[in-house]
Structure 1
């Protein structure tokens, strides 16, 4: 059983390594311009991306800037000298994020056509780059953000609303940089890798509208102040759209994606002598339900050898959601997925499951994720834990913490979102 756990952990670490800015960012850097180079950015990978830029940028070429990342997400080995990094709150924005966004917006002013702006954008940037639109307060944004996080809305829906309540997201940051050339380097944390969704697309035109944002607020019954609703209704909070000349000549590059990390994990499994299959990097839906579906597939493989023969590893990514129903529970998408999977597996022999967030933080807890084994429910019952009751009150963290099955890595300084690996069958004797 320990060998199976070790294999799953190795696959998770292989996925994270593939998305490390130190390994993937430098090939996408343009040459220095005739003017100055300004680095602006936001996201959980922001500090690591800034460190990768500094390490690769020519020593004599001008370089300065400001990047905001989540508290505790500055790599200890980072020795930044030319790019300033500040920290702020995630997933609910705070005043530190607002101040950082104000400074970033100010730095974007007064640039020339000879200047280059390197925008380093990664998951988490929506909360970290929080500059409310005119007529919207930080408290308004905090309330809406908290409601969206609890609603079960998809990341695309959440970010549509966030864009239209912002003075810097939804393409507005790039518009401020005109006429400078803007090169955006992205680490994707969203299904489909749409640059307009990653961190709410601060440097790309926004195809969504105020009307879309209003429909999402109504769908999930989220209240906003009357004056904010009025500003959405009459289009005062509209974002820059595709075709806007201020985006002419801009470049956008995806330097790391969920698919690439899943493929890296699949190759690591094959190197260990296991067949590996990437199911999808775009899975969305309620975490517990997605867990049940994955469990059903694993059981079919284990019992019937279809559609894959065991032993094998099944991999998936994407971004699931948790609709908070209980009170007092703790946990994120990964552990809720796992609890749903454990209940569906019912101790299926030779099925082990790991789910974790590639940023090292599952929701707002201190774990990346957890592991389910064939004896998970049996051990829980021996401790007096009711798995179904824990799921009903959204207390997946408490469940796996009591079992000692949390995966705790600390911040990984990157973010390509959910990672799930199901090991079906006994691993080769050489593994682990």
Structure 2
């Protein structure tokens, strides 16, 4: 099992490296030297968990044209950069730093003049890290909205569709602040289909969802009556906010994504595993359904000959009903281990599920990595994995068996990777 675990972790790290922010930005800007040379000035804006490495990669290309630069990231990835206003915001929930970061981004965009190039560097986590509530809505209201959406089990694209309706920057509104200049947005994608209107709630892109769509999502999950009064008031007037916007001055370019990382994992796995199976294009839906789907695939694969690797990527959802701590990846790993108790996979195996940003939910773990002995170890040390799962306490279950996946902050964020290795 030790060898399988080491292989799974190595493949996970190779997937992360495939969407390395600095390498992706450098590659993209090599082909844009002409656009930079033609600009009167360059305004550099970065936000998201990969803001600092993306900013570092971009600076050498624009140093002689740079007018101003700001970066907003989470505290785990915060790093000083000479000549750049670097701000730490809150994630997964916005905080006062997120408000300050949003104001810095707004000021930078508003400073753009005709002939300027506004270079925007976007990565996952941007929705929480730049928080610019619409008038009448407070930071506490935005946190309540975000928390309600996450706890409802809504998909990431649904969450972003709603959040952008309560923001001065999201849903293409950042692009409107610099409409007199050209804007190039380089994006690390953490959403299905790499929809630029959804990533970080689409601050530089045509909205992928309308106000009517947002209302439908709010009502589908029964959230309208549970929201604070200021949010309910804004919800009642959402349709009045659908104003025309223009995007002919904007180019959005995806430079890294979950699919790129997933293809790297598959290519690397093929060196040791003659059979490499890719699950769906994007794992989504309730984490319990995802665990059952992957377990069924494993049961079938166990009947085949030779080593097998099953890989997947995406972002399952978790309905939070308990008081424990964990995240979708930790819960997925724990559920998979429990399913193996009820229907054992008849071969040695290891299953890893991890967030490429190195943080799964409000914990210090990227996710979990389990094998056939995981739940037995939990019980040997006095833990009841079923009870802990029911309390959404996957962190302590995996901690008890030594199955937490700890990587630290990775500097990127392209959703989650799942890796099942079988000998």
Partner of 1:232: 235
May I ask how many residue pairs the two structures share in their alignment? 413
Q: What is the alpha-carbon distance in structure 2 between the residues aligned to residue 3 and residue 234 of structure 1?
A: 58
Partner of 2:356: 358
Partner of 2:183: 182
Secondary structure at the counterpart of residue 215 of structure 1: helix
How do 1:263-302 residues align onto structure 2 when only pairs under 5 Å count?
A: 263-302=263-302
Partner of 2:409: 411
How do 1:32-431 residues align onto structure 2 when only pairs under 5 Å count?
A: 32=36, 33-54=38-59, 56-57=60-61, 59-62=63-66, 64-74=68-78, 80-222=81-223, 223-235=226-238, 238=241, 244-245=245-246, 247-302=247-302, 304-305=303-304, 309-327=305-323, 329-346=324-341, 347-348=344-345, 349-425=347-423
After superposition, the Cα gap between the structure-2 partners of 1:170 and 1:377, relative to the gap in structure 1 and judged at 3 Å, is same
- What are the superposed Cα offsets for residues 146-195 of structure 1, whole Å, 9 maximum, x if unpaired? 11111101111111111001111110001001111111111011111111
Native 8 Å contact 2:89 2:95 kept in 1: yes
Q: What is the alpha-carbon distance in structure 1 between the residues aligned to residue 420 and residue 306 of structure 2?
A: 11
Q: What is the alpha-carbon distance in structure 1 between the residues aligned to residue 182 and residue 175 of structure 2?
A: 9
Deviates more, 1:99-108 or 1:4-13: 99-108
Secondary structure at the counterpart of residue 282 of structure 1: coil
Report the Cα offset of residue 107 of structure 1. Answer: 1.6
- What are the superposed Cα offsets for residues 324-357 of structure 1, whole Å, 9 maximum, x if unpaired? 1112x11001010011111112253312101100
Q: What is the alpha-carbon distance in structure 1 between the residues aligned to residue 208 and residue 300 of structure 2?
A: 41
Native 8 Å contact 2:39 2:115 kept in 1: yes
TM-score, length-normalised on structure 1?
A: 0.91
Deviates more, 1:57-66 or 1:358-367: 57-66
After superposition, the Cα gap between the structure-2 partners of 1:207 and 1:256, relative to the gap in structure 1 and judged at 3 Å, is closer
Report the Cα offset of residue 219 of structure 1. Answer: 2.1
Native 8 Å contact 1:163 1:239 kept in 2: no
Q: Which runs of 5+ in 1 are unaligned?
A: 426-432
Report the Cα offset of residue 235 of structure 1. Answer: 3.7
Report the Cα offset of residue 34 of structure 1. Answer: 2.8
Q: What is the alpha-carbon distance in structure 2 between the residues aligned to residue 273 and residue 285 of structure 1?
A: 28
Secondary structure at the counterpart of residue 203 of structure 2: coil
Native 8 Å contact 1:286 1:320 kept in 2: yes
Q: What is the alpha-carbon distance in structure 1 between the residues aligned to residue 240 and residue 47 of structure 2?
A: 22
Partner of 1:12: 12
- What are the superposed Cα offsets for residues 71-118 of structure 1, whole Å, 9 maximum, x if unpaired? 11135xxx6223322111101110111111012112211422210111
Native 8 Å contact 1:296 1:344 kept in 2: no
**Superposition RMSD in Å:** 1.8
- What are the superposed Cα offsets for residues 205-258 of structure 1, whole Å, 9 maximum, x if unpaired? 1142222222222222223344543433334663555xx33x103111111010
After superposition, the Cα gap between the structure-2 partners of 1:239 and 1:318, relative to the gap in structure 1 and judged at 3 Å, is farther
Native 8 Å contact 2:273 2:307 kept in 1: no
Q: What is the alpha-carbon distance in structure 1 between the residues aligned to residue 68 and residue 222 of structure 2?
A: 43
Q: What is the alpha-carbon distance in structure 1 between the residues aligned to residue 40 and residue 185 of structure 2?
A: 18
Report the Cα offset of residue 199 of structure 1. Answer: 0.5
Native 8 Å contact 2:330 2:368 kept in 1: yes
Q: What is the alpha-carbon distance in structure 1 between the residues aligned to residue 234 and residue 368 of structure 2?
A: 43
TM-score, length-normalised on structure 2?
A: 0.93
Native 8 Å contact 1:170 1:240 kept in 2: no
Q: What is the alpha-carbon distance in structure 2 between the residues aligned to residue 37 and residue 240 of structure 1?
A: 28
